[in-house]
Amino acid sequence: MKPIKCLVTAGPTREYFDPVRYISNPSSGKMGWNIANAAKQKGWDVTLILGPSQLPDIDGATTVRVVSAADMLSACEKYFPHTDILIMSAAVSDVRPKVYSGQKIKKDKIDFNPQLEPTPDILKTLSLKKKSQILVGFAAETHDVMHYAEEKMKSKNLDAIVANTVGSEGSGFAADENKIDLILRSGEIVDFHKASKSRLAASLIDFISAKFFGGRRPQDRQ
């Protein structure tokens, strides 16, 4: 019997202007790393696509380290066809510089109004290739989180989305604890109380396992 195949993304992406300057965000990778670890503990076959982060590889899982949104998309596209569920917790940069300089730009040559362009939307791209895969996204917002999360779930054609309020101390980016709600396509909302990212990750994986895979243990899977 084959284990459930789970693809998790975590961490930020970096979009470089030159070899020493980039656009990014404060994601540490902890939320997604803990989700991948919890899925591994459940006996799932886990691949973690991890943006720049200090976190170690997960024993028994495949860890693929990437830098930019384009790298993350390529890595996801490689594993997505063979996965049962994608959990997209990475904080992918929405923009990148239009022009990259292979050499460090001298201070007096810096363009203070650089041209930016959107990065590829990884979830949206993968949702167009979706067959039987379950897609779970995240929505990080400072306000109206439930409203924006529902909009993102619909526009990216997701099965569920984790609504994550960010911007307050002790929760969200880089913190050890978090506060999340899971919104399902059916409209069901699960309120996970504020807790450590490792506890939340375990609860989230337990819930997802019961909801989408009938709580099957890997050895029960056909």
Looking from the CA of 28 toward its CB, the CA atoms found within 13 Å total 15
Over the window 71 to 90, marking each residue x when it contacts ligand PMT by CB under 6 A and - when it does not, the resulting string is: -----------------xxx
139 binds ligand PMT (CB under 6 A): yes
138 binds ligand PMT (CB under 6 A): yes
* Binder among 39, 133, 172, 200 for ligand PMT (CB under 6 A): 172
64 binds ligand PMT (CB under 6 A): no
Nearer to ligand PMT, 4 or 50 (CB): 50
Nearer to ligand PMT, 52 or 218 (CB): 52
b/e burial code for range 192-220 (CB count within 10 A of at least 16 → b): beebebbbbbbbbbebbbebbbeeeeeee
Q: Which residues are identified as catalytic?
A: 25
58 binds ligand PMT (CB under 6 A): no
Nearer to ligand PMT, 90 or 182 (CB): 90
* Shortest distance (Å) from residue 1 CB to ligand PMT: 30
* Binder among 4, 7, 17, 29 for ligand PMT (CB under 6 A): 29
Contacts with ligand PMT, residue ranges (CB under 6 A): 11, 27-31, 69, 88-92, 94, 119, 121-123, 137-140, 152, 164, 166, 172-174, 197
